[in-house]
Amino acid sequence: MANISDVAKKANVSVATVSRYLNESGYVGKKSRAAIECAIKELNYTPSEVARSLSTKQSDLIGLIIPDIKNPFFPELARAVEDTAFKYGYTVILCNSDENVEKEQHYLQTLSKKYVAGIILTSIIDSDKHNNEFNIPMVALDRPLDLDIPTVTTDNQKGSKLGTDYLIQSGATSILCLTGPTTLSSTKLRLDGFLQAIEGRQIETHIIESPYDFEAAQQIVFEYIQGHPDINGIFAFSDASAIGALKAAHRLGKKIPEQLQIVGFDGTQMGEVVTPSLTTVAQNIYKLGEAATEMLIQQIEGKTILNVSKCIDPQLYIRETTRKEST
Amino acid sequence: MANISDVAKKANVSVATVSRYLNESGYVGKKSRAAIECAIKELNYTPSEVARSLSTKQSDLIGLIIPDIKNPFFPELARAVEDTAFKYGYTVILCNSDENVEKEQHYLQTLSKKYVAGIILTSIIDSDKHNNEFNIPMVALDRPLDLDIPTVTTDNQKGSKLGTDYLIQSGATSILCLTGPTTLSSTKLRLDGFLQAIEGRQIETHIIESPYDFEAAQQIVFEYIQGHPDINGIFAFSDASAIGALKAAHRLGKKIPEQLQIVGFDGTQMGEVVTPSLTTVAQNIYKLGEAATEMLIQQIEGKTILNVSKCIDPQLYIRETTRKEST
DNA sequence: TTGAAAGCGATACCAT
DNA sequence: ATGGTATCGCTTTCAA
């Protein structure tokens, strides 16, 4: 492959001039410009990003670290990040931390060695020294890092209240709240929202924890409902667990939504696909990814470490696992 | 961040020695080794991948180009690729071509500028000059590139025959074959398998095309079944379209599997989640990704351009959208 | 407007 | 066993 000095030679100018032309920095005469353009065409030249990175200690790479691409929430998020990055001329490196702290650290390290321009992190860790250690622009997505790292999340509390309110308005009187892992701050916020909605009303509540996993949730709910057949509403903190609950209810012969209503959280495509389709508190996943990416790029290009965080409103998708509202 | 010459100075050796130590190439004395190790610790040094890449014209980056991460087949594939790459010390750059030829070309170009070690490509394009143009190790995944590029695919024909046979054995007599985009070679192969299974039997067949998209398939099937209420079996070339068909059947009040049986293709998690759960021809997605990655790494490290292709056997997952076999 | 030359941080060849 | 140094391909002063 041709390099910059081949181009310079062929165009009868210096590499410096070619570089200036490439980066639109500094003056380049008309004749030189034409000659360079011609040479580039002929040689089919494209600059080496690697050499450029070495020189500038910068790159157009954005690292995206997520816990698990197989959880349907994340592909949609990844797609949004990728689209946005592409729009601004960046390329995404996707890393699966696998819900594993060491793997997360490993990737953080690897990415920094590659001079990535910035990192979007959906971390497992609650609090740490990400920022100090690597001093690379960062944005926390979905799961806040309680440092000075800007964060983009859904308004979890509001969403949870929204969903629970609707469930109650639709007639649920004995509700099972299927939370997420208690280590996640989003779980705490969603629980707050749930409790807020319950408060002062005559609702029997059961609160149990479940991973955001279809199979596991199914098992947990299956057993729990057997012991508590009076439950007529389930509010789950993810679509995956809501769908697990749905499956469990089917197995128990419960009629949905007549005997048991279910509301999920996330708004993934899976919720549309199941039968009956899932009523859910939808996060604006695309916007989440887009906002995070834009905030990151702003940091990268503006060299500003912003300290704003962004909280995006969720929206209720009313579908078939709840009864028509009847106050 | 510290660099190699900082380490050399602190350890009182030359950069060459440090480099040798780092790469385990050539001799390094015990004392030097100890001194270097110590210096590295103290300075918290990690070598710059970028500088290394510039020097060696190599990197540990593997590019993975897929059409759409939101199609549930691909996250599972991506995960397999990533896991395997990680195991061998490579990092994956994920790119969405968005079923768009230009974007695919763009990414191919971008990746080559970054000196990626190799590329795994799930291409949209049938035939082209990928290999010549970039001369980077490549493996085609799922969708063959009809060049000398090694390919990993599922045995589509066999799978299709397997699924159709089962559908017929379960009692379907009037079958709708819901194909994929006819531009894909896998579609042709699956169609072959279908026709082979049908041959010589008293089966009424309807063949129509559908994109691998839940919504679109739903609409297509809804309309078609209305006009052909005698259809009692559907063989779809993807889980996504099978699930669309399932949904359409529900809307039409068809009882599944009593009145209408459905078999999908892919074996994604979505098939488990729906109710009734989907009988499907499962591709061994993990193995597909793993094999492709291993073949690529073999090419990269062995410097051999292998010309073998790998065809992986599919497997029938018998679930609830078909009746128990009754010859 | 342009060019020479010093980095950027590693590798690897050639001496010693 | 170790060190000096050219080299990878580009950016970026500084002079001219």
Asked whether residue B114 falls in the same domain as residue B130, the answer is: yes
Asked whether residue B42 falls in the same domain as residue B142, the answer is: no
Asked whether residue A252 falls in the same domain as residue A221, the answer is: yes
So what's the pLDDT on residue B213?
A: 86
User: Over 70: is that where the pLDDT of A129 sits?
Assistant: no
Q: Which two tokens stand for residue B44?
A: 């918290």
So what's the pLDDT on residue B147?
A: 67
CATH code: domain of residue A132: 3.40.50.2300
Residue B327 lies in a domain: no
Instruction: Report which DSSP code applies to B173.
Output: -
**Residue A306 banded pLDDT, cuts 50, 70, 90:** low
> Which residue's alpha carbon is at the shortest distance from the C1' of D2?
B17
> Which residue's alpha carbon is at the shortest distance from the C1' of D3?
B14
Asked whether residue B76 falls in the same domain as residue B135, the answer is: yes
Residue B320 lies in a domain: no
The CA–CA distances, whole Å, from A223 to A211, A242, A247, A251 equal: 15, 15, 12, 11
Q: Which residue has the higher pLDDT, A112 or B167?
A: B167
Residue A324 lies in a domain: no
**Contact assignment for A274 to B273 by CB distance below 8 Å:** yes
3-state secondary structure of B280: strand
Residue A101 lies in a domain: yes
Asked whether residue B136 falls in the same domain as residue B279, the answer is: no
Asked whether residue A224 falls in the same domain as residue A261, the answer is: yes
Q: pLDDT in tens for each of the 327 residues of chain B?
A: 799 999 999 999 999 999 999 999 889 999 999 999 999 999 999 999 999 999 999 899 999 999 888 888 999 999 999 999 999 999 988 888 888 888 888 888 888 888 899 999 987 765 554 444 667 889 999 888 766 789 999 999 999 999 999 999 999 999 999 999 998 889 999 999 999 999 999 999 999 999 988 899 999 999 999 999 999 999 999 999 999 999 999 999 999 999 999 999 999 988 998 989 999 999 999 999 999 999 999 988 876 666 688 999 999 999 999 998 654
**Alpha carbon B82 to chain centroid, angstroms:** 11
CA A38 to C1' C15 (Å) is 44
Residue B107 lies in a domain: yes
So what's the pLDDT on residue B132?
A: 44
Q: How many domains does chain B have?
A: 3
The angle at the Cα of B105, spanning B291 to B307, to the nearest 5 degrees, equals 35
Residue A190 lies in a domain: yes
So what's the pLDDT on residue B112?
A: 85
The overall average pLDDT reported for chain A is 91
Q: Kindly identify which residue of chain A lies nearest to residue B241, measuring between CA atoms.
A: A273
Asked whether residue A82 falls in the same domain as residue A125, the answer is: yes
Asked whether residue A233 falls in the same domain as residue A248, the answer is: yes
CB-strand contact A26/C, under 7 Å: yes
Asked whether residue B223 falls in the same domain as residue B167, the answer is: yes
Asked whether residue B136 falls in the same domain as residue B192, the answer is: no
What is the reported pTM?
0.87
Asked whether residue B87 falls in the same domain as residue B183, the answer is: no
The verdict on B88 touching A (C-beta cutoff 8 Å) is: no
So what's the pLDDT on residue B318?
A: 97
Residue B321 lies in a domain: no
CATH code: domain of residue B22: 1.10.260.40
User: Over 60: is that where the pLDDT of A13 sits?
Assistant: yes
Peptide bond preceding B257 in cis form (omega within 30 of 0): yes
Asked whether residue B166 falls in the same domain as residue B274, the answer is: yes
Residue A119 lies in a domain: yes
For A139-191, the three-class secondary structure string (H helix, E strand, C coil) is EEECCCCCCCCCEEEECHHHHHHHHHHHHHHCCCCEEEEEECCCCCHHHHHHH
User: Over 70: is that where the pLDDT of A126 sits?
Assistant: no
- Domain holding B15, by residue range, is 4-56
Q: Return d(Cα A211, Cα A231) in angstroms, integer.
A: 20
So what's the pLDDT on residue B233?
A: 97
**Residue A20 banded pLDDT, cuts 50, 70, 90:** very high
